[in-house]
Amino acid sequence: MYSILVLHGPNLNLLGRREPGVYGSVTLDEIARRLEEEAQALSVSLVSLQSNHEGVLIDAIHDAFDKHDGILINPGAYTHTSVALRDAIAGVSLPTVEVHLSNIHRREEFRHHSYIAPVAIGQICGFGADSYRLGLHALVTHLQQL
Ligand code: DQA
């Protein structure tokens, strides 16, 4: 059974009350519940972590090295700033899918660039909470084809 590390970056703990016009009204707990349902249907196991701290996310990626088969990550604002997060993903070389609730390419210019995209299999954005489910699906399909 594949084991997937699900990482949520800064401010995603505020989902549900954070800029609902942009991110919707679904909470992170509800996203976790839906992902768990999807994981059971796909017969994979999930370990999830949300952190507002770059180093905590980097440590979790390092720890994933021989524990998990892939990473599903919404890096939040670190998407647009963090070379360190990018290097951690490249360093462990685990298949990684980047997800965003909002379509970052339709938003402010500073959100158009992702440091993570070049080290990810792909990026899914713009589908609200459903981006996570679609991302998990894409990651598991990729792992099954390896
Ligand atoms: C986000 C998009 C980022 O630009 C933003 O900083 C976030 C959330 C998203 O899921 O749409 O925190 O990653």
> pLDDT by residue (tens digit) across 3-57?
999 999 999 999 999 999 899 999 999 999 999 999 999 999 999 999 999 999 9
In this structure, the residues whose C-beta lies within 6 A of any atom of ligand 1 are 11, 74, 76-77, 79, 100-102, 104, 111
Per the listing, tokens 């949300």 go with 50
User: Which residue's C-alpha comes closest to atom 9 of ligand 1?
Assistant: 100
In this structure, what token pair is assigned to residue 77? Answer: 């604002």
- Look up 100 and say whether it is catalytic: yes
What pLDDT does residue 71 have?
99
Cα angle 25-50-40, degrees, rounded to a multiple of 5: 80
In tens, the pLDDT along 44-67 reads 999 999 999 999 999 999 999 999
Q: Structural domain of residue 51, as residue ranges?
A: 2-144
For 118, residues 6+ apart whose C-beta sits below 8 A from its C-beta are 86
In tens, the pLDDT along 65-111 reads 999 999 999 999 999 999 999 999 999 999 999 999 999 999 999 99
> What are the φ/ψ torsions at residue 24 (nearest 5 degrees)?
85, -175
> Among 51, 101, 107, which is best to mutate for testing ligand 1, by the most ligand atoms less than 8 A from CB?
101
**How many domains does the chain divide into?**
1
Assign residue 24 the CATH number of its domain. 3.40.50.9100
| Residue at 56: amino acid letter | V
What atom in ligand 1 is closest to the CA of residue 111?
4
